[in-house]
Amino acid sequence: MEKEGALMVVFKKVSSKFFKWKVPVWTVLFIGIVIIVVSLIQPFTTSQADSQSVSMVKYLKEVNEHVFLNVGIESVETKTEKTQIPWIKADVPLSKKKSIIILTYDAKLGIKQPVSIKEISPKKLRIEIPKYEVIGVELDEEHPYTLYDTSGELLSYSTKDVDTGKLVTQKLSTKQQERYLEQYQEQLNNSAKEYYESLFKPLDEEIELEIIYPEQ
């Protein structure tokens, strides 16, 4: 009986202090309830991402560009990553990751410098065309980029992912398109001839054009 009486005294003291100390204790209880509720509903919530883009004009430059030829290209690019043992530079077996992408775009070929036009006689002009260059690339509007396949071997979990963005950038670089300048030089010459004839022939049907084409 004495023990029960002592426990009742302790309980009364604790409970009286609990209800006297109203603000901090109830605040703690409220925070605890909020945490429990949030943890219970979290699996049923959805996340929403916000994005922001900031652009700045770095310079303005007048150009004399003219496109003579569009080369439509569909390119299949394959890139593989693998894990190596650093100190012996040996590949870890079954650690390869591979990605295959398909790019569809136009390589635009033409001139960036103005042509030189000289009057040889009243009925003859000499047109000297500067060196052909890559004007730029234009991705296909409907299917510019397709991630065709991604795969990984059994132990590839530690291998870094293939940087497909870098792969696309490299493929679309000006250097990669320059090979088409030599490959399609005849078509470029024909297009340039037709273009300048369309400019001058309507003015005088008898005019003769001497066109000097660039050497690549």
pTM (2 d.p.): 0.67
Q: Which residue has the higher pLDDT, 171 or 88?
A: 171
In the chain, the largest separation of any two C-alpha atoms, in whole Å, equals 132
pLDDT for the residue 152: 83
Q: According to the model, what pLDDT value does residue 145 have?
A: 86
User: Which pLDDT score, from 0 to 100, does residue 8 have?
Assistant: 58
**Helical H segments across the chain, by residue range:** 2-20, 22-41, 164-171, 174-177, 179-183, 185-200
Cα(189)–Cα(213) distance, rounded to whole angstroms?
7
pLDDT score recorded for residue 115: 94
Q: What number is the average pLDDT over the span 36-40? A: 63
Confidence band of 161 (pLDDT split at 50, 70, 90): confident
pLDDT score of 13 more than 70 = no
Residue 140, token pair as written in the block: 């296909």
pLDDT at 174: 93
**Spatial contact of 100 and 148, defined as CB atoms under 8 Å apart:** yes
Task: Look at residue 82 and tell me whether its pLDDT is greater than 70.
Answer: yes
Q: Is the pLDDT of residue 216 over 80?
A: no
Going by pLDDT thresholds of 50, 70 and 90, the confidence category of residue 125 is very high
- Which has more confidence, 151 or 85? 151
- What pLDDT shows up at residue 207? 93
Residue 47: band (very low, low, confident or very high) from pLDDT cuts 50, 70, 90: very low
Q: Which residue has the higher pLDDT, 4 or 137?
A: 137
Cα–Cα distance measured from residue 4 to residue 62, given in angstroms and rounded to the nearest whole number: 97
Q: What is the pLDDT of residue 6?
A: 54
**What are the helix and strand counts (H, E) for the chain?**
6, 9
Name the average pLDDT for the chain: 81
pLDDT of residue 148: 84
- Least confident segment among 17-31, 51-65, 152-166, 202-216: 17-31
Query: Can you give the pLDDT at residue 12?
Result: 56
56/199 Cα distance (integer angstroms): 38
Contact (Cβ atoms closer than 8 angstroms) between residue 115 and residue 100: no
